[in-house]
């Protein structure tokens, strides 16, 4: 029987795997298990043991606490605290594609893109005039 913590850890596992562009198959091979087990971990159907979590953290180049980050905020959301970002937004393929593209840019174009996004978010009214520069 799984609970919300197992589900949260599984979502964090999926998010990191996708961010790195790994398939369930390739991640499974890295830690010596089948892709079906990765599927079960990611959807929270199976609980991840401490030893396996350590292996996954090594394979994904993150500290073990990465899998628990945001858990207290998730509980706050469930108990009525204001939510600033949809809980599943980082698990969407579109978001991961955007993050990968953003970090593949040099610093100057990234700053311009961030400024543009912020100006669009605010309706463009109170932001300075932005000039896009080709990389």
Read off the pLDDT of residues 69-111 as tens digits, 9 standing for 90 and up.
Answer: 988 765 554 555 444 556 667 677 888 888 888 888 888 888 8
Q: Which two tokens stand for residue 11?
A: 């979502």
pTM (predicted TM-score): 0.59
Q: Quickly list H helices, 20-92.
A: 24-31, 35-42, 50-59, 71-78
Question: For position 124, what pLDDT does the model report?
Answer: 55
Please provide the DSSP assignment of 107-122 as one string: HHHHHHHHHHHHHHHT
Read off the pLDDT of residues 3-41 as tens digits, 9 standing for 90 and up.
Answer: 899 999 999 999 999 999 999 999 999 999 999 999 999
Higher per-residue confidence, 59 vs 114:
59
């Amino acid at each position: 029987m799984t609970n919300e913590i197992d589900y949260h850890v599984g979502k964090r596992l999926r998010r990191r795997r996708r961010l790195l562009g790994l398939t369930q198959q390739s991640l499974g091979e890295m830690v010596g298990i089948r892709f079906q087990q990765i599927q079960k971990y990611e959807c929270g159907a199976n609980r991840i043991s401490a030893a396996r979590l350590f292996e996954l953290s090594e394979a994904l180049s993150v500290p073990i606490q990465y899998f628990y980050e945001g858990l207290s905020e998730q509980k706050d959301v469930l108990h009525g605290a204001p939510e600033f970002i949809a809980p599943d937004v980082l698990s969407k393929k579109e978001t991961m594609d955007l993050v990968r593209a953003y970090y593949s840019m040099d610093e100057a174009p990234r700053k311009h893109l961030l400024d543009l996004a912020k100006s669009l978010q605010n309706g463009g009214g109170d932001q300075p005039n932005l000039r896009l520069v080709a990389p």
